[in-house]
Amino acid sequence: MTRIALIAHDEKKPDLVEFARTHESQLRDYDLIATGTTGKRLLEETDLDVGRKESGPLGGDLMIGAEVAAGNLDGIVFLRDPLRAQPHEPDISALLRICDVHDTALATNLESATYLIEGLAE
């Protein structure tokens, strides 16, 4: 089964929830994991089944990076706030590096996220 991770900076969590609602029928076919708070929001605000890792500040982004390194993820949607990211929020640089090393797709905005999930469906 196709497995993707969902991560969002605080200011982008509403966008990720809306993205998940819009693409719920497609995302339902995937095995989904998310960082703690993002996963909680998705579980509460959608009908998707989402496995939760730790919150970003507690290492959830690193746990997702480990999933990439182990070959357990087909892609990541990380909606980041390029202008107002807070110090406690996950840093994308480590995820970018591990995704590049393991040739794993990483989407950082809504448009590329749409391409990612549609591409994985094919």
Provide the annotated active-site residues: 61
3-state secondary structure of 120: helix
Residue 37 counted as an annotated binding residue: yes
Residue 36 counted as an annotated binding residue: yes
3-state secondary structure of 50: strand
Residue 13 counted as an annotated binding residue: yes
Residue 23 counted as an annotated binding residue: no
**Token pair listed for 99:** 């995704």
Residue 88 counted as an annotated binding residue: yes
Quote the CA–CA distance of 70 and 86 in Å, as a whole number: 29
Reported residue count of the chain is 122
In a 10 Å sphere around its CB, with 0-12 CB exposed, 13-18 middle and 19+ buried, how is residue 117 labelled? Answer: buried
**Binding site feature residues for substrate:** 9, 13, 35-38, 55-56, 88
The annotated binding site is made up of: 9, 13, 35-38, 55-56, 88
